[in-house]
């Protein structure tokens, strides 16, 4: 039976490599000892189950001492999957669209 992975952002179950300075905050995350299934859904997950799982995951994030670092990581990397720093896949996707979309409106047309 395979070993269960911990819910550490970015596939944090790989402990064979030493942590880099920019990922050391993972060690202090509230989710460090929780199962990754809480933060990452499966392909066949229905919308009601997804909403319940994401609500439970974001509740963990609300109490996390490194939430800001986790959220910043998720937005800047960008992380396409899972709950990170209290943000869901959909909220990060919407954030990226809001940030990119105004840039197109400010461009001028070539004459």
Q: Is 68 annotated as a binding residue?
A: no
C-alpha to C-alpha distance for 69 and 59, rounded to whole angstroms: 17
Q: Is the peptide bond before 14 cis (omega within 30 degrees of 0)?
A: no
Q: 32 vs 10, 42, 110, 111, CA distance in Å?
A: 12, 20, 52, 56
Closest CA to 8 of 20, 25, 58, 17: 25
Residue numbering of the annotated binding site: 31, 61, 64, 70
Residue numbering of the annotated binding site for [4Fe-4S] cluster: 31, 61, 64, 70
């Amino acid at each position: 039976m395979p070993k269960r992975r911990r819910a550490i952002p970015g596939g944090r179950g790989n402990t064979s490599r030493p942590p880099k300075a920019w990922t050391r905050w993972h060690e202090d995350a509230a989710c460090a000892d929780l199962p990754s299934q809480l933060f990452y859904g499966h392909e066949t997950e229905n919308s009601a189950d997804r909403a319940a799982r994401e609500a439970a995951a974001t509740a963990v994030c609300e109490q996390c001492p490194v939430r800001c670092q986790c959220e910043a990581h998720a937005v800047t990397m960008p992380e396409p999957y899972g709950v990170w720093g209290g943000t869901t896949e959909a909220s990060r996707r919407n954030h990226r669209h809001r940030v990119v979309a105004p840039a197109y409106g400010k461009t001028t047309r070539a004459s």
